[in-house]
Amino acid sequence: MVVGRPDTDRPVALSSRADARDRAAGAAPAPRARRRPPRPFDAFVVTGYLLLAVLLTSDQWRRPERLFHQAGDQILFEWMLARAARAVAGGENPLYSAALNAPDGVNLMANTSVLGLGVPLTPVTLLLGSQAAFLVAVVACLAGTATAWYALLARRLVRSRAAAAVGGLCCGFAPGMVAQAGAHLHMAAQFLVPVILALVFNPDPRRVRRDGVLLGLAVAYQVFLGEELLAFLALAAGVFAGAYALADPAAARRLAPAVARRLGVGALVAGVLLAYPLWFQFAGPGHYRGMPFFTRGFRLDLASFTATARQSVAGDAHRAGLLSPNPTEQNSFFGPVLPLLAVLVVVRLWRQPLVRALAACAVLFALLSLGATIVVNRHDTGLPGPYRLLAGVPLLELAVPARFALVCVPVLGVLLALAVDRVRHRPARTWAPWAGAVAAALLPLVPTPIRTVPAPPVPAFVAAGDWRGYVPAGRTVVPVPPVTGAAVSPGMLWSARTGLAFDAPGGYFIGPAAPGDPTARWGAPDRPTARLLRRAAELGQVPPVGDAERRQAVEDLRHWRAAVLVQTPSAPGDPVRATIDALVGPGRDAAGAHIWDVRPLVG
């Protein structure tokens, strides 16, 4: 975002004052200083970030029989990490898989496949399993994001390493980051954001081509981490650049040519690298159009910006639940003090173009997160929000409004770092009140370990590989009851924990509504037998079963290429078990499961 260390204690956006004077005089910029080796304090800060990230995931490290509270999302990402490892180890296409949603498969490029995490974590996944890989990914996302911002702040924005550490802590461990990390790896993996911003807004006109190539590589990699985050980043960078140009037109005119050339080179490099993956995403097998849920319904309450999130020491779970669409989207819960402190910092440092540009970003993206109409303390005021302006913008109209507030997180982190850095050499009577204010702002937001819930058990019949004696090549294991829509998919967890050893129908993903209809929907199109079994599970009673239902069951089993149906241990009176008995005949108990061998039935 900003480079060039100033020659006074005031940070100057985009370039140092000395370089600015040199350029005004027609002189070449001073030679770039030799990079200093890492300091012990750097290692201390990074180690602190890592330890905090491990602490936040500690409940699941200690109790592997549990999942984070949004269990369905963790199951999805465990499966994606397992799939990436299998693609690397087996030389398979990482953009598509038939191991899920058999026989049609899933377009992984059109889902949150996080290949940018899954591929480098392949050794962890293969050696320790998908759960360990997921937890390592969460730690890497939180600590990596904090470290990347710390590095940018320390090298280019502030002189004080302590100020940079405070800013990095806010950027990596804000309530919104912790909320996303427990479920959405693609939103928590923000460690490339400062890298991309540093490359885009580098004021040094030299090495434009090199920086452009690096920018293209970073953007391409970010696509394989999370495209939604990249869209937010592009929009935020544009808003920041426009606001900075208004605040300092002379600097903007001076820097614009190099930035434009760098963007051009980056776009070319990224375009070449992403041409096929993006074609596969939007036109390949299993592609879809739109979203399977009403994105505008996921908006934030204006009152949430001064509330505390559930995953913080001062959090109020009940109130936080009322002010957010779900626990994962508590992106704006900055507490009562931090927003006020940010306003004071902006007022105090208003003369700096950087601060004015950051303030513009924060205000705009906070307003965008409120959705089409503004809600205050659960009351819909009817006042239109600026999110309405994105209604017709391709791709952005599909973004979840609540996530726009995540842009405010690094803005607040940078403002905190600037404020702490400004008073570092002042008398105690000056910096003590600021230190107290920073402490009062951050202490209520200290994150707590991410909540966990019991995980669906993996039957020993599956975990030990006993299913192999029933499933020939080209056939599938069908977990029952089959998952429909966006329900939690235990079968996906079985698949992930066994390294995708077997193919299974259904699952939790986004795909087309039908072979000829690309309208987005959750999961596979429902088969009549799947609906029948789900109805038995939800109503707790056996539905009527006749010859028509039996014939349909055989047809559906043939469509799924089923060899064996597997249910976790159940009593004879279990409605799902009794319904399957009525459809295909009685099953039998196996190791930690009840199974139905349907090979003779489907041929």
- Calculate mean pLDDT across residues 452-470: 95
Separation of alpha carbons 381 and 219, rounded Å: 39
Q: Which two tokens stand for residue 260?
A: 């434009």
Mean pLDDT of 231-260: 95
Quote the pLDDT of residue 112: 95
pLDDT of residue 314 exceeding 70, the answer is yes
Tell me: do 424 and 517 sit in the same domain: no
pLDDT surpasses 80 at 438:
yes
- Indicate if 252 and 208 belong to the same structural domain: yes
Find all residues with CB under 8 Å of 230, minimum gap 6, and list them.
219, 222, 223
- For residues 251 and 379, membership in a common domain is answered with yes
Pair 261, 133 in one domain: yes
Measured between alpha carbons, how far is 574 from 481 in angstroms, rounded to an integer? Answer: 12
Residue 74 lies in a domain: no
Task: Let me know if residue 32 belongs to a domain.
Answer: yes
Whether 430 and 479 share a structural domain = no
How does pLDDT run across 267-285, given as a tens digit for each residue?
A: 999 999 999 999 999 999 9
Last residue of one domain, picked from the residues 379, 411, 445: 445
Among 445, 474, 506, the domain boundary falls at: 445
**CA nearest neighbour of 218 among 231, 203, 199:** 199
469 plus 421 within the same structural domain: no
Do 228 and 282 have their domain in common? Answer: yes
For residue 3, being part of any structural domain is answered with no
Residues 337 and 365 in one domain: yes
Class of residue 283 by CB neighbours under 10 A (exposed 0-12, middle 13-18, buried 19+): exposed
Inside any domain, residue 89: no
Residue 241, domain member (yes or no): yes
What's the pLDDT tens digit per position in 395-411?
Answer: 777 788 999 999 999 99
Angular region, 48: left φ>0, alpha ψ -120 to 50, beta rest: alpha
Contact status, residue 569 vs residue 490, Cβ threshold 8 Å: no
Q: Which residues of 51-67 are buried (b: 16+ CB within 10 A; e: fewer)?
A: ebbbebbeebeeeeebb
Is 324 found in the same domain as 194?
A: yes
Report in angstroms the alpha-carbon separations of 360 from 153, 242, 366, 374, 407. 20, 10, 10, 19, 11
> Do both 274 and 359 map to the same domain?
yes
State the pLDDT confidence band at 428, using cuts at 50, 70 and 90.
low
Residue 257 lies inside a defined structural domain of this protein: yes
φ and ψ at residue 423, rounded to 5 degrees: -105, 15
Task: Check residue 572 and report its DSSP letter.
Answer: T
Domain count, the chain: 2
40: its two tokens? 């012990």
- pLDDT of 211 reads 96
d(CA 292, CA 525): 12
Mean pLDDT for the stretch of residues 503-529: 91
pLDDT at 340 over 70: yes
pTM of the complete model: 0.92
Range of lowest pLDDT (321-330, 464-473, 556-565): 321-330
- 117 within domain boundaries: no
pLDDT of residue 22: 38
Containing domain of residue 174, as a range?
17-68+129-445
Among 51-60, 185-194, 291-300, 539-548, which stretch is predicted with the lowest mean pLDDT?
291-300
Whole-number Å distance between alpha carbons of 582 and 586: 8
Give me the mean pLDDT over the 281-293 stretch.
Answer: 91
588: phi then psi, degrees, rounded to nearest 5? -150, 160
Q: Kindly state the DSSP code that residue 591 receives in the 8-state scheme.
A: T
SS3 203: coil
* Encoded amino acid at 575, one letter: P
Q: Which of 382, 417, 445 is the last residue of a domain?
A: 445
Residues 135 and 226 in one domain: yes
The distance between the two most distant Cα atoms of the chain, rounded to a whole number of Å, is 91
532, part of any domain: yes
CA 475 to chain centre: 34
Beta strands in 77-119 (DSSP E): 96-97, 106-107
CA distance 244 to 250: 10
- Residues 179, 44 share a domain: yes
The answer on pLDDT for 484 being more than 80 is no
